[in-house]
Structure 1
Amino acid sequence: MSNENKKRVALYTLGCKVNQDETEAIEGLFKDRNYEIVSFENRADVYIINTCTVTHLADRKSRQFIRRAINTNPNALIVVTGCYAQTSADELEKIPGVDLIIGTSGREKIVDVIEEHQKVNMATTFVSDIRKAKDFEELPVDRLIHKTRAYLKVQEGCEQFCTYCIIPYSRGPFRSRSLDNCINEAGRLVDAGFKEIVLTGIHLGAYGIYDEKLSLFDLCKNLLDKTDIKRLRLSSIEPTEINDEIIELMKNDSRFCRHLHIPLQSGDNKILKLMNRPYDAEQFQQLVTKVKQEVPGASITTDFIVGFPGEDDESFANSVELIEKVGFSDIHVFKYSPRKGTPASKYPDQVEASIKEKRSKIISDLATRGFVNFASQFINQTVEVLVEQDVKGICEGHTDNYLPVKFKGKIDKGQIVKVKIKNLEKGFLSGELI
C-alpha cells in the first residue's frame, strides 16, 4: 500500500517511562497493521493521547493535547487512553470531539477497537474496573529501534496507597510479566541493537510479589545470565525493596548500572507517616550510605514533594538536612497537588502555593549542588558512555551511573565508548574520546 493510501496515526505521551513504553508498543501495533506514523503536529486520521493523572497539571496538559489534536484535524478520530482516562472518563466524555476513551487495560486490542468503532461512528468508553485486573497486559516493545535504550515494562499496578497518590486507583493491583517472557523480550531487544535496557513498572520492586519463587533480584540475575545485554538499569525502586542481593549484584556485575532512583518524598518522619510511606528518614539515610559504601561511584537520584499538608518550617528543615546528608546526584521536585479521591486531599493544614514555590526553589538548588558534588568526582577519570545523539559533531550520552557526558567525535547512536572526563560544565561533564 502506498503512503498516500495508508491511514495516518499520531501519538502523544504524557507522564512516566511506563507510559512512554506503552505508547511505543501501541505505535508498533499500528505499524503492524500498515498505518503510517506521523508527528503529533501533523494532520492524521487517528490521534492517540496517552494521558497521565499524577497531578492537576498532568490532567490539564492531557486536555490541552486532546484539544490540540481536535484543532489540527476536526474530522480525525480522537482516542484518549492512560491513567487520566482510567480515573476520569466522565470528565473526558464532556469534551466535544473525543471519540474513544480506553483505560489502562485492553490496549493490546486497541487497533481492533478503533477500526470497529469507525464502523459504528459514535463516542464509546472502554474503562473496566481496574481493581479486578489479574493479568499482566502483554504489549511487545521490540518493534521500534530508533532510540538508544529500550524500556522493558515488567510490572503493573500498585498497592502501596500513599495518601497523596491516585496511581493505585488508575493502575490496579500488582501484576507481573512472566520470567520467560521478560527474558525473551530482552533477548529480542538486544538482537534489535539495544545496548541498554531499562526495567520499568508502576511499582517495580513488587515484581513477582505473588510468586513465592520470584523477586526483582531473580529477574535481574536471569536477564544478565541469559541475554547478551551490555547494560541493565532499574527505573525507580522503593527504599524498602532494595535488599542485599540487589546491592551485591550491582557491586559484582559491571553490566548492572550503578544508578538507583529511590523516591524519598519527604525527609521528615511526621510527614512520611502522613504520606503512608513505609520507612523513616533514618532508614533511608542508612540505606543510601550502605549502597554508596558497597558500590563505589553509585548515583542516587530521587523524587521529592514540597508542600504536603502539614509540612511546616520544622518539617521542611528536616528534609533539607537529610537531603544534604544523603548527597543526591539529582532530585525531581514536585509541588504537592491534591488529587480528588485520595486521603491527603482532605487533610487540614494545606500549604499555600507561594510557600510551595519557595520550597521548590530551595530543593532545586540543592539538586544542582548535589549534581556538581557528585559529578566532580569523575574529572580526570575514564568512563563508558552510551551515545544517544550527535549534534554537529558533538556526541551526547550517559554513563552507567547516569551522568550526562558530551565529547567531540563521530560515533553512531547506541554505541558504548570510553571517554576521558576533562571538565564539569553546566549540567554535564565534557571529555575526550579515547
Structure 2
Amino acid sequence: MKFINPDYRMKVFFDTVGCRLNQAEIEHMAAQFRAAGHQVIETAENADLVVVNTCAVTAAATSDSRQKARQAHQAGAQRIVLTGCWATLEPDKARDLPGVSDVISNLEKMNLPLKVVESEFLDFDTEPIARQPLPGVHSHTRAFIKAQDGCDNFCTFCVTRVARGKGQSIPKEEILEDILRAERGGVREIVLSGVHLGSWGRDGDNDETITDLLSYLLNHSHIERIRLSSIEPWDLDERFFELWKDPRLCPHLHLPLQSGSAGVLKRMARHTSPAAFTDLISMVRSNIPGVSITTDIIVGFPGESEAEFDESLTFVNQMQFSGGHVFRYSMRDGTAAAKFPNQVDGKTSKMRAKIINAAIKASEEKYLSSFIGREVDVLWEASGVQSDKGWTLHGLADYYMKVEALADSNRWNKLDKVRIETIKNDSLIGKISKFD
C-alpha cells in the first residue's frame, strides 16, 4: 500500500452505492479527513483521492460499484480506494479495476484515513468538529448516523452477512457524540442506520436493547427529528413503539417483509411469518396513529410457485404499505439460496415485480391522498430557482413523503409546516402555512 504524506492537504471525494449505512459511513470518513485538515470536494474531478463505498446486495449494485470506480478514473482522480461490501467480497476483482490503488475491507474501513495517510501519530478523534454535509450528489440536510454493523441472521438470499460479519453495536456514547456533532453543524434530523438495527445491544453485557438506545438518545440530545433507516420485523415489543409518544421520533418505519408467502419466508430463513407480521403491523398502527410503513419485497425467489406469488400479492394488498421497494431475486455467490433448486426465470420474475410494484404504488397513492388538506412538517433538502415563480423547494415530511412547494427564498434545512393541496407522481404538492 502506498501512503500519502500527512503534511499534504488533499482534495478528497467520497462516493457510495447502496444502503443508508453506506451513506453514514462515508459521512463519518469525511469528518475524519476534515479533522486532519483535508478538503472534501463534490466531484471526482481534480481529486487527489476518491473513496468509493461499494455494495453487493444485488448484481446491479455490484455493477454500479464497478462503474463508480471507472467514472472516478475517467475523471482523472489521482488515487482511488475501494471499500465496502463488494470490495470485501471480491478484493482481487476490485483491485484490477483501472486506477484503483487500494482495497480496504469492511473490517478496516472506519480506520481508512489511517490506512492511506502515512503517519502513526494521526488521531482523528482528538477534536470533535461540527458535522458538515457532503458536497455534491450525496449532500443531505439529514445526518446518517451509524449505530450498528453486521448481522447474526442467516437469510438465505443475503450476502451482506458474509461481507460485514457478525452483529456489532456501536457504543451508545459514540452514537450520541455523532449526533451532538451533527447538532453543532445545524442538523435538524438524524437517521440511525445499521445492517440489523433492531439487534443493537445484543452483543453487549448489560442487556440493553434498541429501545434503551432510543430512550438514551432522546434524553441526552435535542435533535429535532430522529428517524430509523430500516428495522427487521421481529423482536420489537410494545415498549419499543410506546417511545413514539415523543414527537421527535418520525412516524415512519421501514419494515422489510421480503415475501408475503409463508413457504417462501421459511425458505428465506426469515424470522417472521405472514401471521406474525400482521400482528406486528397491528401493534405499530395502534401505537403510532397515521404511521407510514414501507417495506421491501423480493419476487422470483427460488421455488416461488404461482400459488406462493399469489399469496404474497394478496398479503401485500392487505398490509396497505405507504411505499416500498420491489426487487427481483438476484443470485449471490456464497449464499444458501444460490444452490436452491427451481430457480425462477428472468421473464417470470420481471412480470411478478411489475405486479407487486403496481400493488404497492396503489396503496402508496391511497396513503398520500389521505394528506390532502392536512398540514405536515417538512425539512427542505433541495431547492432551485424556477424563473419568475421563485424557489422550488423539495423536502421530506416526518412521515417520509416527498413534498414540493414554492417560496420566495431558498429555505434549505428549514423545517416548515406545509398544507398539502394535491399529489403529483409520488410527491405531495402544497403551500407553506407556517415558516420555521
Q: Common fold, TM-score beyond 0.5?
A: yes
The corresponding residue for 1:26 is 29
1:338 to 331, 335, 339: 331
- Encode CA deviations 1:44-91: one digit per residue, 9 max, x unaligned: 2222111001111111221222222223327x2221111111111132
1:234 to 206, 223, 228: 228
- After alignment, is 157-166 or 9-18 more displaced? 9-18
- Matches of 2:101 and 2:219, distance apart in 1: 46
How is 1:67-146 mapped onto 2 (pairs within 5 angstroms)?
67-73=70-76, 76-116=78-118, 143-145=131-133
- After alignment, is 146-155 or 255-264 more displaced? 146-155
Q: Is contact 2:393-2:411 (8 Å) kept?
A: no
- After alignment, is 348-357 or 210-219 more displaced? 210-219
- Matches of 1:186 and 1:43, distance apart in 2: 31
- Matches of 2:102 and 2:333, distance apart in 1: 23
Q: Residues 208 and 61 of structure 1: is their aligned pair in 2 closer, same or farther, counting only changes over 3 Å?
A: same
How far residue 141 of structure 1 moved from its aligned partner, in angstroms, is: 9.1
Q: Is contact 1:233-1:256 (8 Å) kept?
A: yes
1:282 lines up with 2:270 in the alignment: no
1:221 lines up with 2:215 in the alignment: yes
Q: SS at the partner of 1:99? A: strand
- After alignment, is 391-400 or 375-384 more displaced? 391-400
How far residue 346 of structure 1 moved from its aligned partner, in angstroms, is: 0.6
Q: Is contact 2:44-2:75 (8 Å) kept?
A: yes
How is 1:227-376 mapped onto 2 (pairs within 5 angstroms)?
227-250=221-244, 252-376=245-369
Q: Residues 396 and 69 of structure 1: is their aligned pair in 2 closer, same or farther, counting only changes over 3 Å?
A: closer
The corresponding residue for 1:127 is none
- Matches of 1:25 and 1:379, distance apart in 2: 38
- Matches of 1:175 and 1:151, distance apart in 2: 17
Q: Residues 185 and 65 of structure 1: is their aligned pair in 2 closer, same or farther, counting only changes over 3 Å?
A: closer
The corresponding residue for 1:203 is 196
1:12 lines up with 2:5 in the alignment: no
Q: Which amino acid aligns with 2:212?
A: D
Q: Which amino acid aligns with 2:52?
A: I
Q: Is contact 2:44-2:76 (8 Å) kept?
A: no
* RMSD between superposed Cα atoms in Å: 2.0
Q: Is contact 1:54-1:165 (8 Å) kept?
A: yes
The corresponding residue for 2:156 is 163
How far residue 236 of structure 1 moved from its aligned partner, in angstroms, is: 0.5
2:57 to 47, 54, 57: 54
How far residue 94 of structure 1 moved from its aligned partner, in angstroms, is: 3.5
Q: Which runs of 5+ in 1 are unaligned?
A: 118-136
Q: Is contact 2:151-2:161 (8 Å) kept?
A: yes
* TM-score, normalised with respect to structure 2: 0.89
- Matches of 2:297 and 2:333, distance apart in 1: 20
- Matches of 2:174 and 2:351, distance apart in 1: 47
* Structure 1 segments (4+ residues) deviating >6 Å: none
Q: Is contact 2:11-2:48 (8 Å) kept?
A: yes
- Encode CA deviations 1:166-201: one digit per residue, 9 max, x unaligned: 111111111111122222222222222111111111
Q: Is contact 1:152-1:200 (8 Å) kept?
A: yes
How far residue 411 of structure 1 moved from its aligned partner, in angstroms, is: 5.2
Q: Residues 188 and 38 of structure 1: is their aligned pair in 2 closer, same or farther, counting only changes over 3 Å?
A: closer
How far residue 41 of structure 1 moved from its aligned partner, in angstroms, is: 4.2
- Encode CA deviations 1:289-337: one digit per residue, 9 max, x unaligned: 2212332110000011111001111111011101110001111111111
Q: Residues 248 and 411 of structure 1: is their aligned pair in 2 closer, same or farther, counting only changes over 3 Å?
A: farther
- Matches of 1:190 and 1:221, distance apart in 2: 18
1:176 lines up with 2:169 in the alignment: yes
Q: Residues 181 and 109 of structure 1: is their aligned pair in 2 closer, same or farther, counting only changes over 3 Å?
A: closer
- Matches of 2:109 and 2:94, distance apart in 1: 18
How far residue 245 of structure 1 moved from its aligned partner, in angstroms, is: 1.1
Q: SS at the partner of 1:378? A: coil
Q: Which amino acid aligns with 1:385?
A: V
Q: Is contact 1:25-1:143 (8 Å) kept?
A: no
The corresponding residue for 2:137 is none
Q: Which amino acid aligns with 2:83?
A: T
Q: Is contact 2:130-2:184 (8 Å) kept?
A: no
- Encode CA deviations 1:187-237: one digit per residue, 9 max, x unaligned: 222222111111111110010112333111111111112211211111101
Q: SS at the partner of 1:241? A: coil
* TM-score, normalised with respect to structure 1: 0.89
- After alignment, is 89-98 or 10-19 more displaced? 89-98
The corresponding residue for 1:422 is 421
Q: Residues 188 and 44 of structure 1: is their aligned pair in 2 closer, same or farther, counting only changes over 3 Å?
A: closer
Give the fraction of aligned pairs with identical amino acids, expressed as a percent. Answer: 36
Q: Is contact 1:285-1:322 (8 Å) kept?
A: no
1:385 to 378, 388, 391: 378
Q: Residues 284 and 101 of structure 1: is their aligned pair in 2 closer, same or farther, counting only changes over 3 Å?
A: same
Q: Is contact 1:145-1:193 (8 Å) kept?
A: no
Q: Residues 321 and 51 of structure 1: is their aligned pair in 2 closer, same or farther, counting only changes over 3 Å?
A: same
How is 1:180-191 mapped onto 2 (pairs within 5 angstroms)?
180-191=173-184
Q: Residues 292 and 269 of structure 1: is their aligned pair in 2 closer, same or farther, counting only changes over 3 Å?
A: same
